[in-house]
Amino acid sequence: MTQPTHSEHSMPSEHSMRSERSMRSIHAEHFMQSCIDACNDCHQVCLQTAMNHCLNTGGKHVEPEHFRLMMSCAEICQTSANFQLSNSSFSHRLCAVCAEVCEACAVDCRKIGGMDECVEACKKCAESCRQMAGAQH
Amino acid sequence: MTQPTHSEHSMPSEHSMRSERSMRSIHAEHFMQSCIDACNDCHQVCLQTAMNHCLNTGGKHVEPEHFRLMMSCAEICQTSANFQLSNSSFSHRLCAVCAEVCEACAVDCRKIGGMDECVEACKKCAESCRQMAGAQH
Amino acid sequence: MTQPTHSEHSMPSEHSMRSERSMRSIHAEHFMQSCIDACNDCHQVCLQTAMNHCLNTGGKHVEPEHFRLMMSCAEICQTSANFQLSNSSFSHRLCAVCAEVCEACAVDCRKIGGMDECVEACKKCAESCRQMAGAQH
Amino acid sequence: MTQPTHSEHSMPSEHSMRSERSMRSIHAEHFMQSCIDACNDCHQVCLQTAMNHCLNTGGKHVEPEHFRLMMSCAEICQTSANFQLSNSSFSHRLCAVCAEVCEACAVDCRKIGGMDECVEACKKCAESCRQMAGAQH
């Protein structure tokens, strides 16, 4: 069964016996799983923060531009993860837009303050999606 | 209440009394609703065709590349519609990718054959999303 | 091609030549398409109202309980539509929960006021989903 | 900031100083996070398996009933996770249906064979959702 695992796995420490090609394939799979994990984490943190912390706190946290950005970030991260899980040939294109949304969300959350976990998840996801977007397909 | 309606509405036939600005705003709203409708229609047709016609027919219709493209098209159309409904500032960016996926899906469905409704919905959505992507934001 | 259309179609006015069985099948298809349309409409109106009218108006419109209900209603309507479009054998079960959420959302929107379109879409979807949930599978 | 974390956390080993009420609240939060994790894992495994292993293997793996069940399971797990992340008051109701879909998917995957990871993820999610559905709200 060739089904890729979804758990985190460490890179093999010994690989002298493996061909360059299979190493590249293993690397690509590991790379994509990292991006799926980052997208999934960012989706969860943004949705949870918006629908709990932001709604409960009010004020700047529910200003339309900020709240929409949080929800857009949550949704595109979910879709990016789903494209990668489905091995869609458009994963790289979607990751490029996802990186932009995450970057904007990180900046906005830092500006408003009190959402450090969100800032970190967005920055990490933006970085991972940028790498995925730039990878050869 | 400023909530935009989601029903189709015709353009006003008389507008000499309206300022250019408000006309542009009405045009933009009408324009976005057309794109939401096209995305929504494409989402429905692709998902329904993949999960019914393709699975029931088998053969080329369930080859991984084709089936993944149908499902990717359904999902990105849903997300594009949601971004526009939410008035996300990244709607235009997402529509650009959505147009590419729809275009590819239209080509693939025509090649395989027997999915005319899908070809039409994808082409119409691709055209609408391209216009949205190119519009001034 | 057996692919069900997603457009609205009128019931045949003459059917003396059709067997009872095929009539039942046509009725079921028409019935499901009505429910898909109602779910889709409710999803759009709830999401658009929450992310535009509610965020722009503030006050009671962004109180956590109300806003969460609007977003839950939008999401479960989307999922219910997708289950039916995919011909999932669990469509009826999901429609039962969808009807409850829509009913609660209609009540809450009427109480807060200024969201008549939302109240109507939720009530119509609740009624359609209740019928779908109670239908023989 | 009261935002619940999404990472796994162990239960406190000492709690004599805490009131019964706050212990219950901590327990409920931990309990929900476990269910979110189970839903998220099941969503990922089902989607990845369907769109890779099943499409690549063909035969019984792309028979309509099986494939639809895999995709229904992936989607309802995603929605259940989102309801819980949003603290929706209908989380328990949705988890009840999610448990049924996961249970059916586990049975079907075991019957077809070669999808052990999917069987495990579905069984674990079904158990977690059943507990959530039965919990006092």
Q: How confident is the model at residue C135 (pLDDT cuts 50, 70, 90)?
A: confident
Whole-complex ipTM: 0.83
Give the pLDDT band of residue A17 (cuts 50, 70, 90): very low
In the chain, the amino acid numbered C51 is: M
pLDDT at A105 over 60: yes
Q: Which chain B residue has the Cα nearest residue C116?
A: B1
SS3 percent helix, strand, coil of chain C, rounded to 5, is: 75, 0, 25
pLDDT digits 0-9 by tens, A64-89: 999 999 999 999 999 999 999 999 99
What pLDDT sits at residue A62? 98
**Is residue B20 one of the residues assigned to a domain?**
no
- Against chain C, the chains showing at least 3 CB pairs within 8 Å are A, B, D
Q: How many domains does chain C have?
A: 1
- In a domain, residue A22? The reply is no
Residue A40 lies in a domain: yes
Distance from CA of B54 to the nearest CA of D (A): 9
How far is the alpha carbon of D78 from chain C, nearest alpha carbon, in Å? 10
CATH number at residue B38: 1.20.1270.360
Full residue range of the structural domain in which residue B55 is found: 29-134
In a domain, residue A12? The reply is no
Indicate whether B81 pLDDT > 70: yes
Confidence class of residue D87 from pLDDT cuts 50, 70 and 90? very high
* pLDDT per residue as tens digits for the range D106-133: 999 999 999 999 999 999 999 999 999 9
Q: Mean pLDDT over all residues of chain A?
A: 87
For D119, the 3-state DSSP assignment is helix
For residue D6, is pLDDT > 60? no
Residues of chain A with C-beta less than 8 angstroms from the C-beta of B81 = none
D26 falls in which pLDDT band (50, 70, 90)? confident
Q: Is residue C20 part of a domain?
A: no
Q: Specify if A18 maps to a domain.
A: no
pLDDT in tens, C42-76: 999 999 999 999 999 999 999 999 999 999 999 99
Q: Closest chain B residue to D56 measured between Cα atoms?
A: B64
Q: Is the pLDDT of residue A12 over 50?
A: no
Mean pLDDT, rounded, for A113-132? 97
> Residue B132: helix, strand or coil by DSSP?
helix
Q: Tell which residue, C100, C134, C90, C81, has the closest CA to residue D102.
A: C90
More confident of the two residues B3 and A137: A137
Q: Quote the CA–CA distance of C75 and C108 in Å, as a whole number.
A: 17
Angstrom CA distances, D38 to A88, D127, D129, stand at 24, 9, 8
The CA distance from C128 to C136, in Å, is 14
Judging contacts by C-beta atoms under 8 Å, the chain C residues touching residue B81 are 44
Nearest CA in chain B to D55: B64
Structure-token pair, residue C53: 């009218």
Residue C70 belongs to some domain of the structure: yes
What's the pLDDT tens digit per position in C79-91? Answer: 999 999 999 999 9
Q: In this complex, is the C-beta atom of B59 within 8 Å of any C-beta atom belonging to chain D?
A: no
Is B80 inside any structural domain?
yes
- Whole-model pTM: value is 0.86
What confidence score (pLDDT) does residue B22 get?
Answer: 72
